[in-house]
Structure 1
């Protein structure tokens, strides 16, 4: 057997652990992995996995070939480097060498977590994603748009290339199954065009036939709103600093990672909006 064949055998992926498999990206990664013929092992609290409890890690990882890692709060959270680095080292110890980490494009706070992954001994890939298009149709922003007819958010007039999470998932699965092609590589993914948050809300309004308003506030004012909804003070402080640093305009550019990896253009924000509107996501 040649050395190249040995390496191919060692890195072939058939079973992939998907952390956050019930979440926004994890659910799509799980679906894309199954569509690619992989066996998916969901690593969620409902299945006994807990990022904060190391005793749950071995059962989730043992016998798998690869894993998709997404930190439960944010890749730039203070505890993320230790958690991701620790899980990655445990994965390598158990023979799960192929790891793909979801990171954030333009988030300097994420770099220590990326380094922790790179130093684990894993065959790693980092996928840095722009702001998700589905943040408008899934998660905490949706109820405000649906019920109040407005979005209050600290985005100002900053423009962002909102990325479809299905593209993020497809890139992640391609990295998991692509052999050496994506090992020790960072891939940045975005949507195909820049939109401000106000322009995004205007597209949602046009698709739904509703009058919707975007109201820009400061990150600090938004933090007060989050605190009023009961978020822990330390989480509020982290998110205030995160929004202030991410939404300052430095991310107002396109990335070509989707085309590089998948050989096609990324899906457009308008497609996501039309599909969600057809499903009645923003109906009051």
Structure 2
């Protein structure tokens, strides 16, 4: 992450910060945040993650500390899973295209679902809850790095336990409007052809 320089940096009142997946992502974040604040950037907005993304709920993610300690005003966003994970993440999108979504989350509740994807694509999509070891092997076989597959196992294990199985209004308060409905996202995305299928409805979800 390279901080902007010259007129570009001086003209920026706010900067959007998105950390990478690397374990040491805090260092490039700090190398961006501190010079940006020193050059007049007034607010840094960091896309972070829920606190449960840190084992045992450790106090603050390193990237959050880098932004909070930069000297600029800051906003830290801690979203749940994104709707776009189903179409833009190669692993999940590939599973939808193949007709089967396998996750190690058991019967846990989390604010995304595959039922609407099936209806919008007009195809049957099977949901397969897998034990953690089988999921890790499946994910790695699909090209997911072993370390990231382990992180997915941890996150989905917490979903299975029911952590954060509640809804909040943080997104509405930030946007000042109602959030986009998942079915609306699915209809638009299915029409783009990213998942294949006819997009005419009539599909369904099979659960073993």
Same fold, judged at TM 0.5 (above): yes
Q: Any conservation in 1 of the 2:15–2:45 contact (CA below 8 Å)?
A: yes
The counterpart of 2:82, out of the listed 116, 132, 149, is 132
Q: Which has the higher contact order (CA 8 A, sep 6+)?
A: 2
Closer/same/farther in 2, CA of residues 256 and 212 from structure 1, 3 Å limit: same
Q: Tell me the residue number matched to 2:48.
A: 103
Q: How many residues align?
A: 189
RMSD: 2.5
> What is the TM-score of this pair, normalised by structure 2?
0.78
User: How far off its partner does 1:231 sit?
Assistant: 4.0
Q: Which runs of 5+ in 1 are unaligned?
A: 1-50, 163-199
Q: Tell me the residue number matched to 2:94.
A: 143
Q: Any conservation in 2 of the 1:159–1:249 contact (CA below 8 Å)?
A: yes
Q: Any conservation in 1 of the 2:42–2:73 contact (CA below 8 Å)?
A: yes
Q: Which runs of 5+ in 2 are unaligned?
A: 198-208
Q: Tell me the residue number matched to 1:89.
A: 34
Consecutive aligned runs of 4 or more in structure 1 exceeding 6 Å deviation? none
Q: Whole-Å Cα distance in 2 between the matches of residues 271 and 280 of structure 1?
A: 15
Q: Whole-Å Cα distance in 2 between the matches of residues 236 and 161 of structure 1?
A: 21
Q: Any conservation in 2 of the 1:207–1:273 contact (CA below 8 Å)?
A: yes
1:123-177 deviations in Å (ceiling 9; x for gaps): 100111111111112221112211x211112232222224xxxxxxxxxxxxxxx
Q: Tell me the residue number matched to 1:179.
A: none
Q: Any conservation in 2 of the 1:68–1:99 contact (CA below 8 Å)?
A: yes
Q: Whole-Å Cα distance in 1 between the matches of residues 168 and 85 of structure 2?
A: 19
Q: Whole-Å Cα distance in 2 between the matches of residues 242 and 80 of structure 1?
A: 19
